[in-house]
Amino acid sequence: MRSLLLLVSTLLTSSFALQLPYDHILWGPGGLASGGFVRRQANTTSSAAPTTTSRAPDSSCKNGPLTRSCWSNGFSIATDFDEKWPNTGKTVYYTLELRNTTCNPDGNGDRTCLLFNNQLPGPTIIADWGDTVAVTVKNLLPDNGTSIHWHGIRMLNTVTEDGVNGITECPLAPGDTKIYTFRATQFGTTWYHSHHSAQYGDGAVGTVIINGPAAANYDIDLGTYSVTDWYYPTTFQINAIAHQNLQVQAPPPPGDTILINGTNKHPTSGGGSYNKVKLTPGKKYRLRLANTSVDSNIRVSLDGHKMKIITGDFIPVQPIDREWILLAIGQRYDVVIQANQPVGNYWFRAIAAAPCASANRFSALSIFQYDGAPNADPTTTGFTVPTTCADEAPLVPWVKNNVPSESFISQAQNLDVDLGRQQVTTNGESIVVWAVNMTAIDVQWEKPTLQYLIDGNTDYPQVSNLIEIPAGQQWTFWIIQETGGTETRVPIPHPMHLHGHDFYILGSGQGIFDKNVNVADLKFDNPDRRDVTFLPGGGWVVVAFPTDNPGAWLMHCHIAWHIGEGLGVQFLERKSEITLPGSAWQQTCTNWKTYYNGNPAWLKDDSGL
Ligand SMILES: *[C@@H]1O[C@H](CO)[C@@H](O)[C@H](O)[C@H]1NC(C)=O
Ligand SMILES: *[C@@H]1O[C@H](CO)[C@@H](O)[C@H](O)[C@H]1NC(C)=O
Ligand SMILES: *[C@@H]1O[C@H](CO)[C@@H](O)[C@H](O)[C@H]1NC(C)=O
Ligand SMILES: *[C@@H]1O[C@H](CO)[C@@H](O)[C@H](O)[C@H]1NC(C)=O
Ligand SMILES: *[C@@H]1O[C@H](CO)[C@@H](O)[C@H](O)[C@H]1NC(C)=O
Ligand SMILES: *[C@@H]1O[C@H](CO)[C@@H](O)[C@H](O)[C@H]1NC(C)=O
Ligand SMILES: [Cu+2]
Looking from the CA of residue 329, the nearest atom of ligand 5 is 2
Give the 3-state secondary structure of residue 207. strand
Rounded to an integer, what distance in angstroms lies between the CA atom of residue 52 and that of residue 73?
Answer: 18
Give the 3-state secondary structure of residue 298. strand
Q: Is the dihedral of CA 310, 315, 318, 323 positive or negative?
A: negative
Instruction: Say if residue 603 is exposed, middle or buried (CB neighbours under 10 Å; 0-12, 13-18, 19+).
Output: exposed
Q: Which fold has domain 3-12+403-581?
A: Immunoglobulin-like (2.60.40)
Structure confidence by residue, pLDDT tens digits, 57-101: 445 678 889 889 999 888 999 999 999 999 999 999 999 999 999
Supply the residue whose CA is at minimum distance from atom 13 of ligand 5.
Answer: 298
Rounded to an integer, what distance in angstroms lies between the CA atom of residue 342 and that of residue 373?
Answer: 10
Cβ of 439 less than 6 Å from ligand 6: no
Cα 261 to ligand 4 centroid, rounded to whole Å: 7
Looking from the CA of residue 114, the nearest atom of ligand 3 is 5
- The overall average pLDDT reported for the chain is 85
Domain boundaries, the chain: 3-12+403-581
Cα 284 to ligand 1 centroid, rounded to whole Å: 24
Q: How many CB atoms lie within 10 A of CB 301?
A: 22
- Whether the pLDDT of residue 422 is over 80: the answer is no
* DSSP state at residue 397: B
Q: How many residues does the chain have?
A: 609
Of 539, 495, 488, 115, nearest to 296 by C-alpha is 495
Residue type, 187: F
Rounded to an integer, what distance in angstroms lies between the CA atom of residue 566 and that of residue 522?
Answer: 29
88-102, 128-142, 355-369, 520-534, range with the lowest pLDDT: 355-369
Instruction: Tell which one of 356, 387, 494, 534 to mutate to probe ligand 5, the residue whose CB is within 8 A of the most ligand atoms.
Output: 356
Cβ of 30 less than 6 Å from ligand 1: yes
Of 534, 527, 530, nearest to 508 by C-alpha is 534
Structure confidence by residue, pLDDT tens digits, 465-522: 999 987 766 899 999 988 765 445 556 788 899 999 999 999 999 888 988 899 999 9
Structure confidence by residue, pLDDT tens digits, 289-322: 998 877 778 899 999 999 999 999 999 999 999 9
Q: DSSP H helical segments within 489-569, as ranges? A: 560-565
Q: What residues line ligand 3, using a CB cutoff of 6 Å? A: 143-144, 197, 234, 236, 602, 604
Cβ of 366 less than 6 Å from ligand 4: no
Cα 582 to ligand 4 centroid, rounded to whole Å: 39
pTM across the whole model: 0.85
Cα 523 to ligand 6 centroid, rounded to whole Å: 30
